[in-house]
Structure 1
Amino acid sequence: MNKKQTDLFLYSSLGVVIMLVMVVLVNVIAGHLKTRIDLTSEKLYTLSEGTKQILGELDTDVEIRFYATRDEKVMPPNFKNYISHIEDILDEYSQYSGGHLKITKYNPEPDSDAADLATSDGVTGQALSFDDRIYLGLAISMLDKTVSLPFLDPNREKLLEYDLTRAITQVTVDDKPIVGVMSALPVFGQQPNPMMAQMGQAPPQQPAWFLIDQLQQDFEVREVPLTAESIAADLDLLVVIHPKDITGSTQYAIDQYLLAGGKLIAFLDAMAIVDQTPSPNGNNMLGPPPSTSNLPELLSAWGIEFEGSKIAADRLFAREISFQRGAPPQVQPGILFLDPKGINADDVITSQIDQLLIPFAGVFKGEPAEGLEQTVLLHTSEESQLVDAFMARLSGENIMKEFKSDEKKYSLAIRLNGKFKTAFPDGKPGVGEEPEEDDLDNDDKETEPEAPSLKESEEGASVVLFADADFIYDNFSVQQQNFLGSRMVQLLNGNLPMAQNVVEQMAGDSRLISVRSRATMNRPFTKIRDMEVEAAKAYQARINELEEKKREAEQKINDIQRTRQDAGQGQRFVLTPEQKSELENLRENNKKVSEDLKDMRRNLRKDIDSLQNTLKWVNIAGMPFLITMGGIFIALVKRKRTAAR
């Protein structure tokens, strides 16, 4: 080997060694850096700004104990990937906590100390079989306060960040959030009239709505009069339910509460069945008309219009129902049975809701005012139209006969975020007007001057509006039974869970509102999925065709047999040549069907396997191939430059 070849060999070897050292150094340095880059298309590992702020403000150590079964023989394969995803997210939380988040991982094997600790933390094992139980949950604690997430259901993967951040805020906050409830309906229950009770004519005592009972377990719930002239500043949230005949002064109070940093949920109604006076004949559909409710001044300032004289009718979400016991059911398109097609699956409030019952709802129209952003939470299908509220009560069948779709989706629930401007630029209604004579007699009484009104919210406020109030009433959301004096309740749909979701999110830390519903880790091969869909279409079409032929042949056989039985009862049954021919054809047809199905399944599996193998090898060999080709290209360029010298 001459000197030139020796030098080339040494330089090449040295280059390889330097490259390996650089790779090792890059990995070591990168492993100690706190900066990370999320290259996933849906930003699966990027935390929301609200979460980052909450973690950044931690000044006391918070401990997270993560319990996950590691036995591969017990844990289902899809759970293993989910465990890795949870651990990655927890690592991200730790990065932003300033060292105040302490994460400990446990593997609760049967009869182990870790299993006992999990049980004491409220994390329970989920039974997969008679012998096997898996653990996948965590407990978050700070000082003497602990919040548990007993089971991290993969079906709630989109809400993982929200659940974790909410639990952290729960252990770091001492007092329960305060929720004010304002309503024209007896949502807190109603005591019987004492005078009527003495006469024996009083109706029974009405308990509080079940929603209120549930909220009182997690929040400090206060009743706010519908005639309130001001809203207490310490309320974390104001919930307005069917504000019938609300005055301008009360709307002004709500306006100022919102601009001062408050949050608002309003359940309006174009046709409040709950507030309807019972009809003497028991048929409320023909009784006095239900009442309506609105927040006209406020909505107008926000650029939103509530359709209070018409209700949304929808053919897609209609069902057959009976309005009276014993009466035949009829389709009523004004009573909406929403499924996922009408529910926003990407929002934290509604992402886990798959069924809602909303009776005779109004709709929201318009574009939000400047500075406000609108998110539609619930909507009709395009097979919907607006119907006069009075006509909607009379006959669903008539609506269906004359139904003409508007071919547009109407908003049934919306959220507004941003900077709100006052709906009362001239101040409180009535202030500055000429005093009445009664007031002139009280000149000697001191009156407090009105505080200057706010014109715009200082921070981004949030409002959630629903176009119906009936759906959170007990009769439309739960089934109740009295068992040995106890109130037994069973959910009928997702009405109450959704109402609780929105209250929970809005009453908590305001930054939780910005925590998004995340994409899932499951990234299917869309090409393979499309192939399966197309093959399934052809497969199903062929099945339907062959099954139809089979049914026709069987029908003919039955007709022939019935004819012979009718012709001679008790005679021995003998197949005619025609019947034998039909049976032979049927057997041949069935045999051909089986062979065709086997071929189609075999070809489909072969195509899918081929595509999967191709993609697998492209992923495995693609990067090394590109690096090799790049190296060859650089070497050729260098050789050409060396030769030119």
Structure 2
Amino acid sequence: MKENKFRSFLYSAAGVVLVLIVVVALNFVLGRSRLRLDLTEARLHTLSPGTRQILARIAKGDSDVTVNFYVSQKGNRLPPMEEAFARQVEDLLAEFSAGSGGHLRVKKLDPQPDSEVEDAAKLDGVEPQMMQQTGEPYYLGLSVILDPQKVSIPSLSAQRDKLLEYDLARAISQVTQTTKPVVGIMSPLPLMGTPSNPFMARMGQQGSEPWVFVSELKRDFDVQTVAMDSESIDPKVQVLLVLHPKDITEKAQYAIDQFVLRGGRLVAMLDSLCLADNRQPNQMGFNMGGGSSLPRLLKSWGLEFTTNQVVADAQYSREINFGRGPQAAPAFLFLNKDAIAKGDALFEQTDDLLLPFGGAFTGKPADGLRQEVLLSSSKDSQLVDPITAQLNGPKVRDDLVPSNIQYALAVRLTGKFKTAFPDGKPAGDDKKDGAKTNEVAQVQQKEGKTENTVYLFGDSDFLYDPYCVRVDRMFHVATPFNGNLSLGQNLVEQVAGDSSLIGARSRASVRRPFTVVQKKQAEAQKRFQAEIGRLQKDVEEAQTKISEIQSKKEGNQKYILSPESKAALDNLTKKQTEANRNLRKVRKDLRQEVESMENTVKWINIAAMPFLVTITGIGLAVARRQRTAAK
């Protein structure tokens, strides 16, 4: 009996050891392999169709593309986070190589200090980074080469891991192109950055960096500035970006008109309240100026733009902390997939956009033009005064009356455009009459020869750094926190560049907003709206009557009220206090209901899977015991 027990123990021990050996061996083998199972809904860890198209072009080419991947390997010379990221880069490069049919060759190089490989890294444009703890240099970067073209990514960072596939795909696309398309930017805003000079520095004013959007465009395109008072657009410009064209002249609109008719692609980003335009703020720091539009062109195209009203939306708004605690901001539109055009390549896998204080397009396209709405509000929206929306978001939220209209926030016009200037170039003082430009020298075009496409957006702030990226000034790394930057770049690439990059980039901005929670919040707001409005009315009426009583004091009654007036004033003050107390309670109840909804959804997401696994395990155990008992 004892011998059997001892033998069973040996067998059990041997079985455990054998299982342990098998597990360790499998872990070692699978750890060395690059096989991955992607179970995410959006296939975030699978090469996008756009990347595969770029790699397919390489496979069909006559020459191979070489990637020199420089990474410090010996002596623990990488920060722990970057070490894991380096493995991720290597895995992705291996997938790229396989996707190209072996026509993309990857060389992994270790630039040791004072070595020939380190010299090669510097020649390839890869620069050392410094470890924060020790200050020692390390390398993590690459260069993509297709003779004679070379594109470098000087430093790779885990902070930009979501954009890794796009960065690699873009570098590969760039080396396969011989020339860069020319993109013109017309705007009164300092998109290109402002230089610093000693005189302004002494006054406390520093220069500014270019917008991240512009910096990213410069990596793929030849970006040129087009003056706001231009009378013609350089024929070399293929795409014209017009951002916040405030106070644009008739002649500049004529130049844009002729640019579109000759086949140039226009992307216009108008605004009802431009937060980036801080050239003339009031004493409180708010922007009190008007909006921007292309009135002559829009009228010709059959559209109008609400330069004096912004869209407030109960469904797409959130509370925002402006430094004084969370406050309602119904004109800050956090758009999800329900607000975005379905099936449009421009928004592929992009379901999280932010449009602050955007305006709406109304009207019907002119004959010969077709309109597609790209972004729209919900029906729980209303056009409101932009200044009130900026200064008093809670009041706009409480007073909001749903219009039952889905306002067009961005549209695409397609067709044969006709000139908005049938009588010719606008008259005026021509300072440049002596030097006729290309547009002036040519006969005015009355209509486009072929169909063209124009993109119109009711907001320009969505590409302003604070509303699309978080910038690490120390490491000069910009990390997108929504899909705004991707949308801006997709726009330009779709009309001028390699459209295959659209799919590669969109993967970086995929988020899963709680769309159900947002709808429930809007429904809760509706339920409490009537009570909040009634209480606010009571408060305002009480305040008005108090002011009336106080205004009736005569000179010798400045500090003395009659008993009747004092009693009335005390009664009104009491009513006002009670109304304010009730109003705070109703708002508190609304806030608690919304928070309860959010917490419920979060706990369901967090606990549902472990709960289901536990219940399944218990059920299997009970069933097994019942089968054993039956035997």
TM over 0.5: yes
2:297 equivalent to 1:298: yes
| 1:83-482 matches, cutoff 5 A | 135-138=94-97, 139=100, 144-145=148-149, 170=174, 173-191=177-195, 197=200, 200-201=202-203, 203-276=205-278, 282-284=284-286, 289-323=288-322, 325=323, 327-430=324-427, 450-482=441-473
**Residue 311 of structure 1 contacts residue 334 of structure 1 at CA under 8 Å; is this kept in 2?**
yes
Tell me the residue number matched to 1:19: none
**Residue 226 of structure 1 contacts residue 246 of structure 1 at CA under 8 Å; is this kept in 2?**
yes
| 1:481-520 matches, cutoff 5 A | 481-483=472-474, 487-508=476-497, 512=499
Distance 1:85 1:192 in 2: 42
**Residue 241 of structure 1 contacts residue 267 of structure 1 at CA under 8 Å; is this kept in 2?**
yes
Q: Closer, same or farther in 2 for the Cα pair 1:128/1:370, shift >3 Å?
A: same
- Structure 1 runs not aligned, ≥5 long: 1-69, 105-116, 518-592, 603-645
Q: Which of 399-408 and 140-149 deviates more?
A: 140-149
Read off the aligned partner of 2:35 and give its amino acid letter.
Answer: M
**Residue 255 of structure 1 contacts residue 423 of structure 1 at CA under 8 Å; is this kept in 2?**
yes
Q: Closer, same or farther in 2 for the Cα pair 1:490/1:78, shift >3 Å?
A: closer
**Residue 490 of structure 2 contacts residue 502 of structure 2 at CA under 8 Å; is this kept in 1?**
no
1:182 Cα offset (Å): 0.8
**Residue 54 of structure 2 contacts residue 173 of structure 2 at CA under 8 Å; is this kept in 1?**
no
Q: Closer, same or farther in 2 for the Cα pair 1:129/1:405, shift >3 Å?
A: same
Structure 1 vs Structure 2: percent identity of aligned residues? 34
SS in 2 for 1:505: helix
1:408 Cα offset (Å): 2.5
Q: Closer, same or farther in 2 for the Cα pair 1:514/1:219, shift >3 Å?
A: closer
Distance 1:513 1:74 in 2: 25
Read off the aligned partner of 1:175 and give its amino acid letter.
Answer: T
Read off the aligned partner of 1:503 and give its amino acid letter.
Answer: V
SS in 1 for 2:345: coil
Distance 1:263 1:407 in 2: 34
Q: Deviations over 1:550-579 (max 9, x none)?
A: xxxxxxxxxxxxxxxxxxxxxxxxxxxxxx
1:382 Cα offset (Å): 2.1
Q: Closer, same or farther in 2 for the Cα pair 1:422/1:170, shift >3 Å?
A: farther
Distance 1:422 1:304 in 2: 14
SS in 1 for 2:252: helix
- Give the length in aligned residue pairs: 423
Distance 2:54 2:472 in 1: 47
Read off the aligned partner of 1:453 and give its amino acid letter.
Answer: Q
Q: Deviations over 1:394-451 (max 9, x none)?
A: 31211222211122221212222222111111111117xxx89x99xx9xx8989753
1:101 Cα offset (Å): 5.4
SS in 2 for 1:497: helix
**TM-score, normalised by the number of residues in structure 1:** 0.54
Q: Closer, same or farther in 2 for the Cα pair 1:91/1:175, shift >3 Å?
A: closer
Q: Closer, same or farther in 2 for the Cα pair 1:404/1:136, shift >3 Å?
A: same
1:276 Cα offset (Å): 3.8
Tell me the residue number matched to 1:625: none
Q: Deviations over 1:610-641 (max 9, x none)?
A: xxxxxxxxxxxxxxxxxxxxxxxxxxxxxxxx
1:328 Cα offset (Å): 2.7
**Residue 344 of structure 1 contacts residue 351 of structure 1 at CA under 8 Å; is this kept in 2?**
no
**Residue 230 of structure 2 contacts residue 252 of structure 2 at CA under 8 Å; is this kept in 1?**
yes
Distance 1:281 1:422 in 2: 42
1:228 Cα offset (Å): 0.3
Alpha-carbon RMSD across the aligned residues, in angstroms, is 5.2
**Residue 55 of structure 2 contacts residue 96 of structure 2 at CA under 8 Å; is this kept in 1?**
no
Read off the aligned partner of 1:182 and give its amino acid letter.
Answer: M
Distance 1:91 1:239 in 2: 26
Q: Deviations over 1:581-619 (max 9, x none)?
A: xxxxxxxxxxxx99xx779x99xxxxxxxxxxxxxxxxx
**Residue 372 of structure 1 contacts residue 419 of structure 1 at CA under 8 Å; is this kept in 2?**
yes
1:381 Cα offset (Å): 1.7
Distance 1:228 1:306 in 2: 23
Distance 1:303 1:353 in 2: 29
Q: Closer, same or farther in 2 for the Cα pair 1:598/1:477, shift >3 Å?
A: closer
**TM-score, normalised by the number of residues in structure 2:** 0.55
SS in 1 for 2:236: coil
Tell me the residue number matched to 1:589: none
**Residue 275 of structure 1 contacts residue 291 of structure 1 at CA under 8 Å; is this kept in 2?**
no
1:310 Cα offset (Å): 0.9
Q: Deviations over 1:37-66 (max 9, x none)?
A: xxxxxxxxxxxxxxxxxxxxxxxxxxxxxx
Give the greater-gyration-radius structure (CA).
1
1:143 Cα offset (Å): 6.3
| 1:589-608 matches, cutoff 5 A | none
Read off the aligned partner of 1:329 and give its amino acid letter.
Answer: P
Distance 2:232 2:276 in 1: 27
1:268 Cα offset (Å): 0.5
SS in 1 for 2:476: strand
Q: Deviations over 1:452-473 (max 9, x none)?
A: 1011222322211111111211
SS in 2 for 1:292: coil
Q: Deviations over 1:163-203 (max 9, x none)?
A: 99x99975554111111111011212224577x539x3251
Distance 2:485 2:348 in 1: 14
SS in 2 for 1:273: coil
Q: Deviations over 1:484-523 (max 9, x none)?
A: xx534332322222112212222227xx599999xxxxxx
1:254 Cα offset (Å): 0.7
Q: Closer, same or farther in 2 for the Cα pair 1:493/1:279, shift >3 Å?
A: same
Distance 1:90 1:505 in 2: 15
1:207 Cα offset (Å): 2.3
